[in-house]
Each structure stands twice: as C-alpha cells, then as structure tokens.
Amino acid sequence: MDSLDLINPATGAVLQGVPMNGIAEADAAIARAQRAFESWRQVAPGDRARLLRRFADVVDAHAEELAQLEVRNSGHTIGNARWEAGNVRDVLEYYAAAPERLTGRQIPVAGGIDMTFHEPLGVVGIIVPWNFPMPIAGWGFAPALAAGNTVVLKPAELTPLTALRLAELALEAGLPEGVFTVLPGRGDVVGQRFVTHPAVRKVCFTGSTRVGKSIMAGCADQVKRVTLELGGKNANIVFADSDLEKAAASAPGGVFDNAGQDCCARSRLLVQDSVYDRFLSLLEPAVKAYRVEDPRLDTAEMGPLISAAHREKVASYTAEGEVAFTGTAPDGDGWWFPPTVLLAQSASDRHWREEVFGPVISVLPFHDEAEAIALANDTEYGLSGSIWTRDLGRALRVSRGVDTGNLSVNSHSSVRYWTPFGGMKQSGFGRELGPDAVLGFTDVKNVFISTES
Ligand code: NDP
C-alpha cells in the first residue's frame, strides 16, 4: 500500500507516514460497515445512547492528546485545537440524546392505524477537509451513529491523524467493530468510492464547491443522498451606528482564526462610507497586534497555513491586491503568512470574489443599507456573515435580506452545536448540527395496520 509523509506545517518537518488506502480497502471497509449495520440498527436506543455517551467520555479523557496531535498535524493553535476536541465530545453527548427521542407519528386514518418510523439509512460515507479535521468529522459521525447508521470516514490526505485516533477511541468506548471506520486515502479514490459504491446510502461532503459539484453529479447516478457543506465568501457589514471599537476588535478574529482557512471567514469587510477611514484606523492596530506564532504556545492566536502549495495560492491573491497593512508572522521554516488587509478597488477584484482561504481581509465601502445587502449577496456563495449595528430594525432587515444560511449580529461566531449550520446557493445544502441534523440520517417509513375484522 502507498504511504504519504505528513508534514508539520509549523516547521516543515516530516511527522510520520500514513497508509493511503485504495479501492480494495474501501470496498472491504464498506462491506464491514454494511455487516455491522445489521446489528447496530437493532441495538436498543438506550444502549446506543449509553455507548455514544461513553465515546464522549473517552474523547474527553483524551482531549489534550487529541489537541496536541492536531497542533502537530494541522498547525492549529493549541487553544483552537482544545476547543475542537471539546467540540467532538459535546457533539457526541448532544446526539447521544437522540436515539431515545427519534419518535415517529401516529396519523389518524380510516380502517386502521397509521404510524411513521425514522429508519436509519445504512452505511454513511463522510468526506472531511483539512481545515477542521475533528469538528467536521464529529458533526457527521455523531448524528449518523445516533440514528443507527454505520460510518466510513475519509479524512483529508494532509490531516488524518486525529480522525484515526477517534476511531481507536470509539473501539475503546465499546462501539462494535465496523460501526465507525476511518480510512485515509485520496479523495478521487477512496472518497469517490463512497460515491459509486451502491452500499453507501448517503455521502456527507465538506470541502470545495468544485469537488462538491462532482460528488453531487456522481450521487445522482444512484439517487444517493448527499449533503454538501462547501465554500463561503462571507460579508462582515459594519454600519456607522455600530460599536465601531467592538467591530474593529472582532474583525481580525473573524478571518484570521485558523489562519483564515475557514469556510465561515468574514473575508469581505463592508464598511459604511461615513466611518470608513475611522474604522480602518481602528482595524490597523488590531491586525498588527494579532499574535501569529508557534501554535504550541497558549498565547498564539494564529498558526501557519496548511501547506506550501496553499501558501502559494494565498500569496497569488495578495500579490494582485492593494495592501492597506499587514500583521507579522515568523519567517523561519513552516508555511507562515502574515495577516493582510487589502483595499478592494471594486466588487470584481479576484480577492473580493474568490474564497482565498487564508488570513486575508478585503475591504470595500458602501453607502446605505440597500447597497450593503446587494454587495453581500453579489456572490455565488451563501454560508455565513456578520452585521454590526445598534439598530434592531436594521439588524433584522439586513439579516432577512442577506442570502446565507448563518448570520451573526454584533458577533463573528458561526457555530454552536445545538443550532443548525449550513449554506445556501453554491455553499451547499443540508444542515449540520442542531436538533434536526439527525433526521437527515433517516428515512421516514410509513406503516398502516388494518383494524378491520
Ligand atoms: P477539496 O474539496 O479538494 O477536498 C475536500 C475533501 O474532499 C478531501 O478529503 C479530499 O481528499 C476530498 N476529495 C477531493 N477530490 C475528491 C473527489 N473527486 N471525490 C471525493 N472526494 C474528493 O478541498 P481542498 O482541500 O483541495 O481545498 C481547496 C479549496 O477548497 C480551499 O482552498 C478552499 O477554498 C475550499 N475548501 C473549503 C472548505 C470548507 O470548509 N467549505 C474546506 C476545504 C476546502 P484529498 O485530501 O485526498 O484531496
């Protein structure tokens, strides 16, 4: 079997090799998951709930180890990585409540009794990107397992280590063999096999819009269910009536967190023209103070980019733009890039339109509410965004007017595991997290029982 050397993005040093599975291994894993499904679906709801709670406890007991592993493999800051491990625990605990609450309906009919059941789908294939290896895995596998499905998961080639460890911890927690399998390999090999294998009943994909489109087309062939969580080019709209100091202090974290490698990064900064200069003068010191350093340090706010190739891609955008100011980054080994603010010349600039996926903010002024909404919506994406204002009516009008799946007012947060998360337009469809995500891993079955004698 081929193997791939993983690189620590903060140092450029080889971490370890990881086996790259092929079609034969994918088929074997899917067959095991299919066999495991026949017994997993029969596990009593209370027992399935207990196993998921135990899985959450084992993740909790290994949270620091998982976080340290993510720092080495993905270059995430230790603070972020601890949050991410905690998020997997929280999501498992949250969905552990689902098996006992997946109730159907009893519907009045003539001549009998009619009821619905939420049946698990079978084997679910989950394809995870490199930007948030732990949370995105957990958002898929926790509700899928809770609903009685089995899971095969393909981590991104660059960042498989925490997912592999989570699969070991699942076994340690008592989940039966084959219920949750992690299979590193190439996307166009293992990931593609999830699409073409008839036993995989649903594909959950998070990643680029380009690959998402091909997965959707492939799934159509077998009328296979698919959810897509794709890119974003999110607006951060700052109105003149907002708390400008608070908005300027928040804007860097809204993009530079995870080095901008975040589909929810608010990378299009729209500032009302009457406060444009003042806002930039507040933003500059906040950007310059952003701490980009060794991700193992508790003080680090941002680490390196994921790879040399990705750094080149990010640099191609900043080379084209007018740089307003930058922060600092270490200049030693590793894939470092300084936080950068670009002044957009118009809404047709490439860095304004495309998902840079790096620590880059593009700024553009707007005149009034209508123009802000029009500019925010002038994108193929529709994932996330923020609105800064003290006017409640405006906050609600703009929230309803911006076509994205998630919005925050006077905040840049996007993700709470108990509320739904997902995109509109070419950011994808289907909702992860929140109370209803588990239903996406079930089919409704209707049963009619005649009471006629
Ligand atoms: P990709 O969409 O290529 O990769 C995401 C996942 O899909 C990876 O596990 C990848 O595997 C897998 N994959 C790739 N090709 C296929 C295929 N043909 N069939 C099935 N699975 C496949 O994203 P990249 O990592 O290449 O990033 C490119 C850009 O996409 C980023 O710069 C960013 O703009 C965007 N992106 C958005 C994300 C988001 O959260 N919305 C997440 C990641 C990227 P492998 O690792 O082997 O390539």
DSSP calls for 140-191: HHHHHHHTT-EEEEE--TT--HHHHHHHHHHHHTTPPTTSEEE--B-IIIII
- To test the pocket of ligand 1, the residue of 139, 161, 208 to mutate (highest count of ligand atoms within 8 Å of its CB) is 208
263 CB less than 6 Å from ligand 1? yes
Same domain as 117, residue 200: yes
Residue 420 lies in a domain: no
Whole-number Å distance, alpha carbon 268 to ligand 1 midpoint, is 22
Same domain as 69, residue 39: yes
Is pLDDT above 90 for 319?
yes
Is pLDDT above 90 for 36?
yes
Whole-number Å distance, alpha carbon 105 to ligand 1 midpoint, is 39
Is pLDDT above 90 for 111?
yes
Same domain as 108, residue 76: yes
Same domain as 357, residue 248: yes
Same domain as 217, residue 172: yes
Residue 288 lies in a domain: yes
133 CB less than 6 Å from ligand 1? no
What does the pLDDT look like over 3-25, one tens digit per residue?
999 999 999 999 999 999 999 99
For ligand 1, atom 38: residue with the closest CA: 207
Same domain as 380, residue 286: yes
Mean of the pLDDT values across residues 364-376?
98
DSSP string of 207-224? Answer: S-HHHHHHHHHHHHTTT-
Whole-number Å distance, alpha carbon 129 to ligand 1 midpoint, is 5
The total number of structural domains in the chain stands at: 2
Residue 83 lies in a domain: yes
Query: Helix, strand, or coil here: 408?
Result: strand
For ligand 1, atom 14: residue with the closest CA: 187
Residue 333 lies in a domain: yes
Pairing of strands 442-450, 112-120: antiparallel
For ligand 1, atom 43: residue with the closest CA: 207
What does the pLDDT look like over 118-170, one tens digit per residue?
999 999 999 999 999 999 999 999 999 999 999 999 999 999 999 999 999 99
Whole-number Å distance, alpha carbon 207 to ligand 1 midpoint, is 4
pLDDT for the residue 1: 79
What does the pLDDT look like over 163-174, one tens digit per residue?
999 999 999 999
Mean of the pLDDT values across residues 320-345?
97
For ligand 1, atom 17: residue with the closest CA: 188
- To test the pocket of ligand 1, the residue of 127, 136, 227, 257 to mutate (highest count of ligand atoms within 8 Å of its CB) is 127
For ligand 1, atom 13: residue with the closest CA: 187
206 CB less than 6 Å from ligand 1? yes
Percent of the chain past pLDDT 70, that is, above it, reads 100
157 CB less than 6 Å from ligand 1? yes
219 CB less than 6 Å from ligand 1? no
129 CB less than 6 Å from ligand 1? yes
Q: For the chain, give me the number of helices (H) and strands (E)?
A: 15, 18
Whole-number Å distance, alpha carbon 87 to ligand 1 midpoint, is 22
Give how far Cα 33 sits from Cα of 91, 102, 109, Å. Answer: 22, 22, 38
Question: Looking at the annotation, which residues are catalytic?
Answer: 229
Same domain as 243, residue 221: no
Same domain as 224, residue 102: yes
Cα–Cα distance measured from residue 94 to residue 100, given in angstroms and rounded to the nearest whole number? 12
Query: Helix, strand, or coil here: 242?
Result: coil
Residue 85 lies in a domain: yes
131 CB less than 6 Å from ligand 1? yes
User: Which of 414, 366, 373 has its CA nearest to residue 266?
Assistant: 414
Same domain as 197, residue 292: no
For ligand 1, atom 10: residue with the closest CA: 187
Whole-number Å distance, alpha carbon 209 to ligand 1 midpoint, is 8
Same domain as 116, residue 173: yes
91 CB less than 6 Å from ligand 1? no
Q: Is 12 left (phi over 0), alpha (psi -120 to 50) or beta?
A: left
128 CB less than 6 Å from ligand 1? yes
What does the pLDDT look like over 279-308, one tens digit per residue?
999 999 999 999 999 999 999 999 999 999
For ligand 1, atom 42: residue with the closest CA: 207
Q: What is the CATH number of the domain that holds 125?
A: 3.40.605.10
Cα–Cα distance measured from residue 145 to residue 202, given in angstroms and rounded to the nearest whole number? 13
What's the mean pLDDT when you consider all of the chain? Answer: 98
Alpha-helical runs (H) found in 225-349: 244-250, 253-256, 276-288, 308-320
- pTM, two decimals, is 0.98
Whole-number Å distance, alpha carbon 233 to ligand 1 midpoint, is 16
Same domain as 195, residue 128: yes
Residue 421 lies in a domain: no
User: Which of 429, 31, 417, 414 has its CA nearest to residue 204?
Assistant: 429
Query: Helix, strand, or coil here: 227?
Result: strand
Same domain as 13, residue 121: yes
Mean of the pLDDT values across residues 183-193?
98
Q: What is the CATH number of the domain that holds 325?
A: 3.40.309.10
349 CB less than 6 Å from ligand 1? no
For ligand 1, atom 12: residue with the closest CA: 187
Residue 290 lies in a domain: yes
Whole-number Å distance, alpha carbon 256 to ligand 1 midpoint, is 20
- Domain limits for position 275: 235-415
